[in-house]
């Protein structure tokens, strides 16, 4: 199992060890001790909720987070392929408004850990994709916040030209509009 810290602090690419044979394959998709030692989840958090989505090609979901109950997310594609993105939105962070993106697929088995205090989103590259993710806090609808997917102040290079977006995500504000509501960076954490 390989854990690679990416250019944003706390964001980790996980490459599980896969054991293929003539019957198929086996892998550990989560092992608390190994993942903790690899930096997932950071700050001693534990996972409390699992989610799954299914989306068609060109769908873009995000950018989302929660304000008062921020969630860390361990994301993986169990069918198809996605471009998965984390954006640091912690006010005062040295990497504020910076993003990182990776390709997750059912074929590469990779996972991305997105820590609390980061926005998360993904777009579907294959004809269909199913995504599973573990969360470090419960989803609270009235705590959710979003940023428009194509905010020029962030500049994500999405690999889709005309994404399929929900009305809610299409109406999301720009980063500058929600600045006071974003979490504050704590260098001591």
Query: Per residue, what are the HEC states of 38-74?
Result: CCCCHHHCCCCEEEEEEEECCEEEEEEEECCCCCCEE
Q: Is residue 186 part of a domain?
A: no
Q: Report pLDDT digits (tens) over 79-111.
A: 999 999 999 999 999 999 999 999 999 999 999
Q: Is residue 187 part of a domain?
A: no
Q: Is residue 23 part of a domain?
A: no
Q: Is residue 151 part of a domain?
A: yes
The contacts of residue 95 (CB under 8 Å, 6+ apart) are 7, 8, 9, 88
Q: Is residue 156 over pLDDT 80?
A: yes
Q: Is residue 104 part of a domain?
A: yes
Strand order in the sheet with 118-124: 99-105, 81-88, 118-124, 60-66, 144-146
Q: Is residue 68 part of a domain?
A: yes
* Active site amino acids: 64, 133
Q: Is residue 146 part of a domain?
A: yes
Q: CATH no. for residue 128?
A: 2.60.120.10
Q: Is residue 45 over pLDDT 80?
A: no
In the chain, what percentage of residues exceed pLDDT 90?
Answer: 93
CA distance 2 to 84: 18
186 CB neighbour count, 10 Å cutoff: 10
Q: Is residue 24 part of a domain?
A: no
Domain hosting residue 176, numbered range? 2-16+29-181
pLDDT band for 162, please (50, 70, 90 cuts). Answer: very high
pLDDT band for 189, please (50, 70, 90 cuts). Answer: low
Give the total number of structural domains in the chain: 1
Q: Report pLDDT digits (tens) over 177-186.
A: 999 999 999 8
* DSSP-derived pairing of the beta strands 12-15 and 60-66: unpaired
Strand order in the sheet with 2-5: 2-5, 12-15, 111-114, 73-79, 128-135, 49-56
């Amino acid at each position: 199992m390989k854990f690679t810290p990416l250019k944003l602090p706390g964001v980790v690419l996980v490459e599980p060890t896969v054991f293929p044979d003539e019957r198929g394959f086996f892998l550990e998709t989560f092992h608390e001790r190994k993942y903790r030692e690899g930096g997932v989840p950071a700050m001693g958090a534990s996972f409390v909720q699992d989610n799954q989505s299914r989306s068609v090609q060109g769908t873009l979901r995000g950018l989302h987070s929660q304000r008062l109950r921020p969630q860390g997310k361990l994301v993986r594609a169990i069918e198809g392929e996605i471009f998965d993105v984390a954006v640091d939105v912690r006010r005062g962070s040295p990497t504020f408004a910076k993003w990182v993106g990776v390709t997750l697929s059912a074929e590469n088995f990779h996972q991305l850990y997105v820590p609390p205090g980061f926005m998360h989103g993904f777009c579907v590259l294959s004809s269909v994709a199913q995504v599973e993710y573990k969360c470090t806090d419960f989803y609270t609808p009235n705590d959710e916040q979003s940023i428009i997917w194509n905010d020029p102040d962030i500049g994500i290079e999405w690999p889709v030209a005309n994404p399929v977006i929900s009305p809610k995500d299409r109406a999301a504000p720009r980063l500058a509009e929600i600045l006071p509501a974003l979490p504050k960076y704590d260098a001591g954490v």
